[in-house]
Structure 1
Amino acid sequence: MTSTFPILTPAGVRRILLDRKEIALIDVREEDPFAQSHPLWAANFPLSKLELDAWPRIPRRDTPVVVYGEHDGVDLAPRAAQVLRALGYTSVHLLEGGLAGWIAAGGETFRDVNVASKSFGELVESKRHTPSLSAQEVQVLLDAHADAVVVDARRFDEYQTMSIPTATNVPGAELVLRVRELAPDPATRVIVNCAGRTRSIIGAQSLVNAGLPNPVAALRNGTIGWTLAGQKLDRGASRRAPADVTAINRARAQSGARDIAAKAGVRRIAYAELASLDAPGRTVYRFDVRTPDEFAAGHFPGFVSAPGGQLVQETDHNAPVRGARIVLADDDGVRADMSASWLAQMGWEVWVVDPVDAGLRSETGTVGHPAPEAEAVATITPGTLAGWLNDPKENDVAVLDVTASANYVKRHIPGAWFVIRAQLQQALEKIPSARRYVLTCGTSQLARFAAADLKRLTQAEVAVLEGGTQAWIEAKLPLEEGETRLAVPRSDRYRRPYEGTDNATEAMQAYLDWEFGLIAQLERDGTHFFNVV
């Protein structure tokens, strides 16, 4: 199988990165093994859902794609390359020697996820000496009811999980636009936090770069630092920044954002000229960096929602083709410029769409991702499956749930087994053999692809639950929760040391120590082209 695909050496991949040509270096393992070790510019594309991820994330079918990924002694890359070829990709390569070959060739490897962005954040703090305060110093300010506001730069759901007392949620790209509404007095201190370090640093430095006159500081080490200091976090907070921005505050924000974008080398383009960026051999990502609600209310055709703060934090997920062009749009002249200023400093060619009439944002709602059709497979209704499961004569039925493990743990069909699609063969060794297998996931989309795989592994009947587990729920049928039947380990999700409320102290401290070492790793790797202004 491997002989049908060209091989690219680690040195060849490195040469492409140094020449700043387009490349998608993809790791097809599940997220947890990916997070343990991978090259700086590798993007995670689990084989289990490759058909659903490929087209939206690698939109140009002649993009040079380099694949690697071995799990438990099984090389997944040839299978992934076959899938990519079937999806229409014409320049698919296997990485010589896989990850082990990369390491043997002297390639640097990184731990965790979103490491390009996190490494960049550390470099920003080092170069710009971003002001920061320790958890203890911030606690003193709060106890003294000092003239200070705390703003949390994460997504709202992350903020609700745990937050600094008194903090208001202002996701990263919203900070420059909205912070003056929270701190109209230039003497008010503004403290920016996230869970760890990156979004605190980038958020605080954004305010400095945009010329906010207030004293600004990042909360050093975020909620991790707060927890390690033995201080109490809030749960379920709901404070948000004001939705409305005054004309004068908007104008100030626009001026500051425009200035730093120009300094960073951001390019500008008229909406009518966007098609000119679609040159042969160039990938163009088009992102609307406003909030998802604003995007749904009206956006440009061809643009997808990527709130600016998360876009800067998760560039490897949103733009896995290194060397691609990125185009950003907003409706206020602030969020796109600020987000673009950071992407440009991270070495991306980035453009901002000039202000236009609101009528051009003619599409509404969310954007569906393009995906291929799965092979035809028999389907059954929730009622039929419930009948099978409740009928003693039909006790030879196994339900396989290929959804994300977090979703499975939250709720699943009673008796269902959690399975990772790419590990179906291993899962069957643990699941008692059955006369019938029924596959499900959240909506049945991924289950249909898994069913085609399963049919090649068994002579038993294979069917898909029509509408997936969501249809089962809507039919008001019973549910289970917890890790009741794991046919394979939950390697589809890497547990971040900075998320949740029950992480071990040692894990949190180890994470901070890891972040502190990222600059040295960047220097050893040498392919980043970061340029902090």
Structure 2
Amino acid sequence: MPPFTARIIDVLQLRKALERKGELALLDVREEGESGEGHLFFSVNAPYSRLEVQVVALVPRKATPVVLVDDGDGLAQLAARRLGALGYSDVAVLEGGIPAWISVGNQVFKSVNSRSKAFAEVVEHAFHTPAIEAVELNRLRRAEADVVVLDSRTPEEFERFHVPGAVSCPGADLVLKFDTFVTHRDQLVVVSCAGRTRGIIGAQSLIDAGVPNRVLALKGGTQGWRLAGLDLEHGTIGDFEFETTSVARGRAEAVRRRFGVPVVDQDRLTLWLTDAAAARTTYVFDLRDEAERQADPLPGAVPAPGGQLVQALDRWVGVQRARIVLVDDDGVRARMTGHWLIQLGEDVHVLEGPRDRLRIPPPPATPLAPVATVPAPEAAALIAGGGRAVSLEASAAFRAGHAAGAVWSIRPRLAGLPQAVLGAPVIVLFADAEVAALAALDLKEITPARIVAVAGGLGAWRAAGLPVEATPDTPPDAERIDYLFWAHDRHDGNAEAMRTYLGWEEQLPQQVAAEGGGGFRLVTEH
């Protein structure tokens, strides 16, 4: 690898960088299980195990200033070298990592998407978004009151479980499809999610749009429902015919104007995308569903359907103070999403008008060095001859079943494998070929031993009739840095975990205030 030296900055310097007006990518390179136990408020998780693959979409402009955060264990320095090899030219490492940040009294935040979730909780406080308890909603349902429950999560989440009688209507679609599901103004409308935040944002979206019905958020969502001793439903969504109405468009346009969301045409967007001297990152997100995108493709735009940008912005946007452009076919979803992102503190625009000449450059592909592969039977022969199998699958999947005799590892921990493993030919099993390629890059620096991957991974191993074993306690919990244990099992009936999680969401406004604020720009007066 070409020599690359990252700058070292201390906590005070990072604080100043966060306060400046220019762009900054603050990346937490620890695995999700570590980051979820405590991370900086404005950081975005870019786990080292997938760093080079994810970073090109999170931080597409390679001149963007990047600060990497770890546990003070040197992982960020290794990550900096990898970014340098990709062409990132302004990379710094936080000296001492998370421990240094905490040592001077700074806050860290648990779970994932904490900035978006904190925003929703602040919205509830500022707008006094009304809510209904699960017990009261159940009483109304049993009394056959005219109630419509709209589930604002993704269709996949809805199918796993939902409040009985609810219909699937992802957050960005609530205003778009409102008149399909709500047929007269006397119906009570309740917006549900799995916890609190998407229900709050969904209910407030309808209120902001001025729908004539009374709208409430289901307090605690499906978790609150289960804590009340009530059963959830499981199953498919069902098919509903709908069309974008002039009423929906009018409501969304009124919201756009009230909250000051600017519009942009294809000529201006093209200028933004091609002006190298502007030193700005521009993200273009397509809010349409898959069928709409296939019918009228917009190559280069990043799919972000279902309102998830508001709930999980850090999944797509790795650069603070970047420019965001939203695209749809009807104008409703982009306007409603935009009115939240602008209050979240983002520079957001809605694309209007024709896009026939628009050319959006796709994120560059990450060059991955090919890994030598061998068929599963040949891999088994190598192991029988003294080679060692290393599984790079998720730790939960490894526990459930892996090649007999394989050891589990993950890219940040490869150097800690026993010498008995690193000193023999290494046979890699994987669920993700990109993860395997990145791990092989590190393995080649750690050991001179032969490194091969099993073509087709564990699936091919099983198909060849080779032995598989389960180890429910291996790897031990302490080593499972890819798995977030905090408040886990909350969707599987663990009442204490549900209470812990819902309580955490409710306290977020106080924690954000203690951190100095979240940069939110709420428009509470209309």
Normalising by structure 1, we get a TM-score of 0.89
1:399 is paired with a residue whose SS is strand
**Equivalents in 1 of 2:283, 2:385: separation in Å?**
50
With 16-25 and 226-235 compared, the bigger mean Cα shift is at 16-25
Letter in 1 for 2:15: R
- Per-residue deviation, 1:518: 1.0
Deviates more, 1:474-483 or 1:300-309: 474-483
1:372 pairs with 2:362 = no
1:403–1:292 CA distance, 2 compared to 1 (3 A): farther
Alignment of 1:38 with 2:39, yes or no, is yes
* Partner AA of 1:31 in structure 2: E
Trace 1:301-316 onto structure 2 (pairs within 5 A).
301-316=299-314
In 2, the alpha carbon distance for the partners of 1:360 and 1:149 equals: 42
Q: 1:141-199, CA deviations, whole angstroms, 9 ceiling, x for partnerless residues?
A: 11112101111111122222221111111111111111221111111111111111110
User: In the TM superposition, what are the counterparts of 1:513-524 in structure 2 within 5 Å?
Assistant: 513-524=503-514
Structure 2 counterpart of 1:461: 450
For the 8 Å contact 1:41–1:116, the answer to whether it is kept is yes
- Equivalence for 1:439: 428
Give the aligned length.
518
Instruction: Give the superposition deviation at 1:110.
Output: 1.3
SS at match of 1:320: coil
Correspondence 1:265-276 to 2 at 5 A: 265-276=260-271
Residue 257 of structure 1 aligns with which residue? 252
| Distance in 2, Cα, partners of 1:433 & 1:60 | 37
Give unmatched runs, 5+ long, in structure 1: none
Whether 1:423 and 2:413 are equivalent positions in the alignment is yes
* Change in 2 beyond 3 A, CA 1:472/1:287: farther
**Who is 2:193 aligned against?**
194
Query: 1:230 maps to what in 2?
Result: 229
**106 and 27 in structure 1: CA distance in 2 versus 1, 3 angstrom threshold:** same
Which one of 328, 345, 365 corresponds to residue 326 of structure 2? 328
Aligned 8 A contact 2:26 2:68 in 1: yes
Task: Please report how far the alpha carbon of residue 464 of structure 1 lies from its aligned counterpart in structure 2 after TM superposition.
Answer: 1.6
Contact 2:280 2:322 (C-alpha < 8 Å) held by counterparts: yes
Structure 1 CA distance, aligned partners of 2:493 and 2:409? 25
Moved more, 101-110 or 403-412: 403-412
Once residues 468 and 362 of structure 2 are traced to their aligned partners in structure 1, the CA distance between those partners, rounded to angstroms, is 28
Query: In structure 2, what is the Cα distance between the partners aligned to 1:482 and 1:208?
Result: 51
Kept after mapping to 2: 8 A contact 1:443/1:470? no
Aligned to 1:512: 502
Verify the 8 A CA contact 2:223 2:490 in the aligned structure 1.
no
Aligned-partner Cα distance in 2 for 1:350–1:240 = 33
Per-residue deviation at 1:465?
A: 2.2
Q: Specify whether residues 42 and 206 from structure 1 end up closer, same or farther in structure 2 by C-alpha distance, changes over 3 A only.
A: same
Alpha-carbon distance, 1:415 to partner: 4.2
2:323/2:348 contact within 8 Å kept = yes
Deviations along 1:405-446, whole A, 9 cap, x unmatched?
Answer: 3454566445443321111123437x8677332113224222
Cα displacement (A) at 1:342: 0.5
Alignment of 1:137-216 (within 5 A): 137-216=136-215
In structure 2, the CA distance between the partners of 1:208 and 1:356, relative to structure 1 (3 Å rule), is: same
Q: CA deviation at 1:453?
A: 1.7
Distance 1:416 1:214, change over 3 A: farther
CA 406–381 in structure 1, closer or farther in 2 if over 3 Å, else same: same
Q: Is the Cα–Cα contact under 8 Å of residues 14 and 527 in structure 1 kept in the other structure?
A: no
Conserved? CA contact 2:249–2:330, under 8 Å: yes
| Whole-angstrom CA distance in 2 between matches of 1:498 and 1:355 | 45
Higher deviation after alignment, 84-93 or 370-379: 370-379
Tell me which moved more, 255-264 or 404-413: 404-413
1:167–1:239: 8 Å Cα contact kept in structure 2?
no
| Counterpart residue identity of residue 482, structure 2 | D
Deviations 1:208-259 (A, max 9, x none): 1112111111000111111111111123x212462x3245xx2111111122
Match in the other structure for 1:245: 242
Partner of 2:437: 448
Alpha carbons of structure 1 residues 258 and 481: separation in structure 2 relative to 1, 3 Å: farther
Q: CA deviation at 1:294?
A: 2.6
For 1:519 and 1:275, locate their aligned partners in 2 and report how far apart those are by CA, in whole Å: 38
Check the 8 A contact 1:170/1:240 in 2, yes or no: no
Moved more, 208-217 or 523-532: 523-532
Secondary structure of the corresponding residue to residue 418 of structure 2: helix
Q: Does structure 1 conserve the Cα–Cα contact (< 8 Å) formed by 2:4 and 2:81?
A: no
Displacement of 1:369 in angstroms is 6.2
CA gap of 1:370–1:503, structure 2 versus 1, over 3 A, is farther
Give the Cα separation in 2 of the matches to 1:304 and 1:54: 14
Q: Secondary structure at the match of 2:479?
A: coil
Structure 2 distance, partners of 1:307, 1:54, is 21
Aligned to 2:288: 290
SS of the residue aligned with 1:4?
A: coil
Mapped contact 1:196–1:498 kept (Cα < 8 A):
no
Query: 1:403, CA displacement in angstroms?
Result: 3.0
The percentage of aligned residue pairs carrying the same residue is: 37
Q: Distance in 2 between matches of 1:13 and 1:515?
A: 26
> Which position in structure 1 is the counterpart of 2:6?
5
Superposed CA deviations along residues 484-526 of structure 1, whole A, max 9, x for unmatched, are: 7538722213246476642522221111221111111222223
2:191–2:199 Cα contact (<8 Å) kept = yes
Task: State the AA in 1 paired with 2:378.
Answer: T
Change over 3 Å in CA distance of 1:270–1:494 after alignment to 2: same
Which residue, out of 374, 377, 385, partners 2:379? 385
Q: CA deviation at 1:101?
A: 2.0
Segment of structure 1 superposing worse, 499-508 or 24-33? 499-508
- Is the CA contact (8 Å cut-off) linking 1:443 and 1:469 kept in structure 2? no
Contact 1:17–1:527 (Cα < 8 Å) also in 2? no
Give SS of 1:517's match. Answer: helix
Is the contact between residue 444 and residue 464 of structure 1 (CA under 8 Å) also seen in structure 2? no
Distance 1:14 1:241, change over 3 A: farther
Q: Distance in 2 between matches of 1:414 and 1:294?
A: 45
2:338 aligned partner:
340
- Conservation of the 8 A alpha-carbon contact between 2:398 and 2:471: yes
* TM-score, with structure 2 as normaliser: 0.90
Aligned pairs for 1:82-93 within 5 A: 82-93=81-92
Give the alignment of 1:119-130 within 5 angstroms: 119-130=118-129
Picking from 472, 482, 485, the partner of 1:492 is 482
In 1, distance between residues paired with 2:238 and 2:22?
41
Question: Cα–Cα, structure 1 residues 252 and 417, in superposed 2: closer, same or farther, change >3 Å?
Answer: farther
What's 1:403 paired with? 393
- The residue type equivalent to 1:384 in the other structure is E
Code of the aligned partner of 1:283: T
Question: C-alpha separation between the residues in 2 aligned to 1:308 and 1:463?
Answer: 40
In the superposition, relative to structure 1, how do residues 22 and 462 fare at CA in structure 2: closer, same or farther (>3 Å)? same
Following superposition, the deviation at residue 451 of structure 1 comes to: 1.7
Instruction: Label 1:170 to 1:471 Cα distance change in 2 as closer, same or farther (>3 A).
Output: farther
Pick closer, same or farther for the CA change 1:495–1:20 going to 2, 3 Å: farther
